[in-house]
Structure 1
Amino acid sequence: MTEEDIPAATAAAAAAENDDETVSSSSISSSSTKGKAGRTDYASWDRVATSLLTETDAEEKAEQEASSEALGLSTRPRSEAEAEERRKAAEAQKTKRRLDEFKKREGNVIQVLRGALNGVAGEGSAGGQPTKFVTREDLEAGRRVLTLCDADGPGRVVVTSDLSLLESTVPSNAKLTPKKYEGDVENAAPELPQGGGGKAMGLIKLNLRNLNSCTVIVRCKIITGTIEISDCENLTVRVEKEATVATVQADLCENLRVEYRDAPSGKGSFGMAPGQREKFYWGDDADDRIFHAGVKGLSVSMYRDGYLECETAKALNYLELGAKASGNASAEEVQFITSVKDGELVTNRAEAWGKRPEPSSAPSPSSVPAEGGKSPDPTAASNAAPETDNANDEDDEVEEIYASMTQEQIDVVIHNCESQKAKGNEAFGAGEYAQAVLLYSLALDKAAELPDEAEARAAIASSGKSGKGEGGATVKQLFPRHVVLSNRSASFLKLGEHAKALEDATAASVLDPSYVKGHFRMGLALHAMKRYSEALLALGRAEKLEPKNKQIKNALTFAERGMREEMRRRMEGR
């Protein structure tokens, strides 16, 4: 070999060595691909490394679990009871998170104005009193519920008509046909197409809290027609003709005066009945009411065209009205309702509203004519005597049958149950189904304190185990548990908890076999669980109760279709 041949041989050997390295590299990672200009694709190497790391972590976790189990420290439930407790705890945490989300969303629509009279000048107001005019500029974007709180007078706060220009979205179901079933959470099938939602103008609700020695003048539209007042002293609330307030709820107040000055009724839309020109004033409709509990010195007056039409004969005091502590409920929790009947302002216990007056040692305000109102009929007492005697007989019968509780104690429990049920219906209507489940459960828990609970449970246990929900005779109840169970079943259906929905609907059907919603929701739950033949039986019972119900007919059609498809799959061996 010559000297000239040495560099060439060296170069060939180097090339061969490079070829060996290339082959070796490709054999190590045959799956890797070349990048641009022949560079290695490092992304593939990253994926391989991540996969290996995941496998290693899984192996370490398995080894740790095996070691913990050997030492008696396993995280697995040791028994079915422990597993059930863990499941309940997990559900409780899930419900709590949903409630927290609900409260957060609720807080996003509330505008709180504290100390509205602080630093307000008295120019331009009668007597030089400080006057605060609340307009849209005082509300942040998206806030539609106004809370006025922590203000000391003297002074006036005017909720101006400018707030009537606030715009809120109305859910599409707000225009459906009114509910067909008393106390039920869902509307009946509408006769007309549902259509889309719309817009509503005004505040959603007005809250007054901890206001002292001042006057609040309401001049704006309130969509819900509700004002809530609590913990106020020496407060005057004046509802004027521009406002739309049907209901006032007052709690734990002293020296509260409510004035309606040409204020419209809740009847119709903003005080006007559809298709009529006549204006209805507050008190013309049965739903125009003032609820009050724990209020000392409540005065209500109504003015029309600047003249006093009627007012309460004297300031109302919850103790003088006969409120007494009963069980866990204090006297301050006893609810009364003041409304207009036959042109007079009358007050009754909440449980007795629309029924016979509740017996009381104190003179009933309804027996005293309101100033400027009509005098009582001298024959009313004699005409009402037979009804009073029958009512007393009914009370005696209740005392005899349910010796464990007095009628007053039963009324307190029932009122609490009705309150929780109403809140549940409100949550359901707002789409907060988990919140609705919680509130319905609270109503049922409270109903368990009633002396007829054992009978209701026995009926469910004896007739409901089969899951058929056919039941026998309707169980006599002090509180309609079947309605709440049916409503909770509807909530569970919305949440996809079909087994729980079936359980509640079955219990509702057992307690009252004539309640069509129980059978209907039982059929829906069974259909969702693909138990089509059982769903057809439940829906058939519902159709028998209401042959013309379109919802039931549609549900039957879907159940029949589902059963045919299931039979076809079985025949084809799928």
Structure 2
Amino acid sequence: ADALCRQADEQDKKEEAASNQALGLADGPTGPPTAKAEKEIEELQGHSKRREDFIAWSQSREVSVSHTDVFGQVQLSAAEYKGKAVRIKNSTGVAYVVPEDAGLLKLMVDKCSDVSIHVQSSVITSTVELYKCRRLELHLDHPLGTLQVDECDESVAVKFAERDHVGKAYHQNSPGFSISWGLCGTSNSTMVGKAGAFQLLTCMVDAALRTDAVRRGEGEFPLDFGTATAVPDQPEPEAVPADEQRRQEAEKHRLAGNDMFRASDFSQAAALYSLALQLAPELGAVWANRAQCWLKLGNHEKALADAKKCTEVEPMNPKGWFRQGISLHAMQRYTDAIPALLEAGFKKVCEGQWDWLRID
């Protein structure tokens, strides 16, 4: 009798296993949400390799240089820096020359003082960034598409070879920022910078420099001027309540961070999101955005911490839950990742949205 019972039990188990196999339940019941999460994790395994390759590529393309009180010129030659994004950092008392054949990918200048830089070549991305610099002169022999100047509280003089070379200059809290052009770089010098936590845009309009606050349309892209006023006639910003002003300033940092994210400058985007969070830590979208930056940079622990903070301040924000799941998966904590991804799916169903990776 015992043998017959065991045989019957074994037969029941075989039939149950066959039934589960036929129904796709060999690994246990998997409803639509779980199946979708597992499929997304499969896809992310392929993405992680591409993300790691991109991070490695970005790091291999950026180099930092620093000099102090150098006699004579420092050449950033093609042999060392061609195709690289060069960051000049913490230099003082130096004259740099970027020769005509240098072919820099991008030029960034951070926290330098009493420095001159003569860029004789074109920059591949047509982008130069200046941050917290003092008493700096930048000479540009070729046209420049985008110049970013932030937190430069003393003289920063950017001198173009010709008026037509002036592109778009985005600047914030840089009262010493001036633009000029001409053979000696001194004619038509115009002080365009202003103090204050608001972003300005300066460019040529009808053959003259014009500056206005950055205005954004759909998709948060800057709008063209059209009706900008000349620098001396700009009205001072109207006074607003302290709490509202704090949110407005945080929003400006968020939008600037979005611009940097779209330009694949994830470190700068994270720094701008941090500024926004210092002003308005209740903004869940910014915590989610910074988590996405950490994911792009391969810092999964920071990404997880920011994603958790997002769901603390905004429990219904699906991107906070989704980025928790992705962070945990990247850390090989698969059991913990599944509930977070399922929660993200539930929140998305509630919202009726499915754009997982877009920054807000």
TM-score, normalised on structure 2? 0.52
Measured in 2, the distance between the counterparts of 1:444 and 1:297 equals: 27
Determine the structure 1 residue equivalent to 2:157.
256
Equivalent residue, structure 2, for 1:161? 100
Q: Any residues of structure 2 matched to 1:485-504 within 5 Å, and which?
A: 485-490=287-292, 491=294, 495=300, 500=305, 503-504=308-309
Contact 1:485-1:508 at 8 Å conserved across structures:
no
The corresponding residue for 1:135 is 77
> Could you say what secondary structure the match of 1:506 adopts?
helix
Describe the shift of the 1:445–1:532 C-alpha distance in structure 2 as closer, same or farther (beyond 3 A): same
CA contact (8 A) 2:139 2:161 kept: yes
Q: 1:484 aligns with which of 286, 290, 293?
A: 286
Q: Tell me if the contact between 1:296 and 1:317 (Cα under 8 Å) persists in the aligned partners.
A: yes
Distance in 2 separating the partners of 1:502 and 1:550: 13
More strand by share: 2
Q: Distance in 1 between matches of 2:107 and 2:158?
A: 19
Q: Distance in 2 between matches of 1:344 and 1:298?
A: 14
Q: 2:203 aligns with which of 339, 346, 362?
A: 339
Residues 1:256 and 1:133: Cα distance change in structure 2 (over 3 Å): same
CA distance in 2, matches of 1:551, 1:419: 18
Distance 1:525 1:343, change over 3 A: same
- What displacement does 1:145 show? 1.6
Judging changes above 3 Å, is the alpha-carbon distance between structure 1 residues 221 and 536 closer, same or farther for their aligned structure 2 residues?
A: same
If asked which structure has higher relative contact order (CA below 8 Å, sep 6+), I would say 2
Deviations along 1:158-203, one digit per CA (max 9) or x if unpaired, are 4212211xxxxxxxxxxxxxxxxxxxxxxxxxxxxxxxxxxxxx24
Give 1:110's aligned amino acid: S
Contact 1:146 1:207 in 2 (8 A): yes
In structure 2, the CA distance between the partners of 1:428 and 1:260, relative to structure 1 (3 Å rule), is closer
Which residue is 1:365 aligned to?
Answer: 231
- Aligned partners of 2:154 and 2:262: how far apart in 1? 27
Q: How does 1:193-212 map to 2 (within 5 A)?
A: 202-207=104-109, 209-211=112-114
Contact 2:303 2:324 in 1 (8 A): no
Question: What's the Cα RMSD here?
Answer: 5.5
Structure 1: how far apart are the matches of 2:202 and 2:266?
27
Partner of 1:147: 88
What's the CA shift for 1:530? 4.5
| Shift in CA distance, 142/445, structure 1 to aligned 2, threshold 3 Å | same
Aligned to 2:49: none
Deviations 1:129-151 (A, max 9, x none): xxx765236x5899752539444
Amino acid at match of 1:211: D
**Residues 1:441 and 1:424: Cα distance change in structure 2 (over 3 Å):** farther
**Aligned residues of 2:130 and 2:149 also touching (Cα < 8 A):** yes
1:46-65 paired onto structure 2 within 5 Å: none
Looking at structure 2, the residues matched to 227 and 531 of structure 1 have their Cα atoms a distance apart, in angstroms, of 38
- In structure 2, the residue matched to 1:246 is 146
1:231: how far off?
A: 1.0
Contact 1:239 1:245 in 2 (8 A): no
In the alignment, what sits opposite 1:219?
121
Match of 2:323 among 510, 521, 526: 521
Counterpart pick for 1:232 among 114, 135, 138:
135
Identity rate, percent: 14
State the match for 1:539 in structure 2.
345
User: Partner letter of residue 347 of structure 1?
Assistant: T
For 1:444, what is the secondary structure of its paired residue? helix
Pair 408,345 (structure 1): closer, same or farther in 2 beyond 3 Å: farther
Deviation sequence 1:238-288 (CA, Å, 0-9, x none): 3233x655224261333724325387xxxxxxxxxxxxxxxxx653xxxx3
Specify the SS of the correspondent of 1:163. Answer: coil
Return the index of the structure with the highest Cα Rg: 1
Is 1:110 the counterpart of 2:51? The answer is no
SS of the equivalent of 1:109 reads strand
Q: Does 2:212 correspond to 1:348?
A: yes
1:506 to 293, 297, 311: 311
Unpaired segments ≥5 residues, structure 1: 1-104, 121-131, 165-201, 264-280, 324-330, 358-362, 369-387, 400-404, 449-455, 457-480, 553-574
Give how far 1:539 is off.
1.0
Mapped to 2, the partners of 1:146 and 1:551 lie a distance apart of: 29
Match runs of 1:299-318 below 5 Å: 299-301=179-181, 314-316=190-192, 318=194
Aligned residue identity for 1:258: K
Q: Is the 8 A contact 1:253 1:295 kept in 2?
A: yes
What is the letter of the counterpart of residue 539 of structure 1?
G
Counterpart of 2:102 in 1: which secondary structure? Answer: helix
The 1:501/1:249 distance shift into structure 2, 3 A limit, reads closer
Against the structure 1 CA distance between its residues 355 and 439, is the aligned structure 2 distance closer, same or farther, given a 3 Å change threshold? closer
The answer as to whether partners of 2:86 and 2:106 remain within 8 angstroms in 1 is: yes
**TM-score by structure 1 length?**
0.36
Alignment CA distance shift 1:206-1:365 (3 Å): same
Runs (5+) with no aligned partner, structure 2: 1-58
Q: Secondary structure at the match of 2:66?
A: strand
Change (3 A) 1:521 1:219: same
Tell whether the 8 Å contact from 1:110 to 1:146 is kept in structure 2 after alignment: yes
| Count of paired positions | 278
1:291 positional shift: 1.6
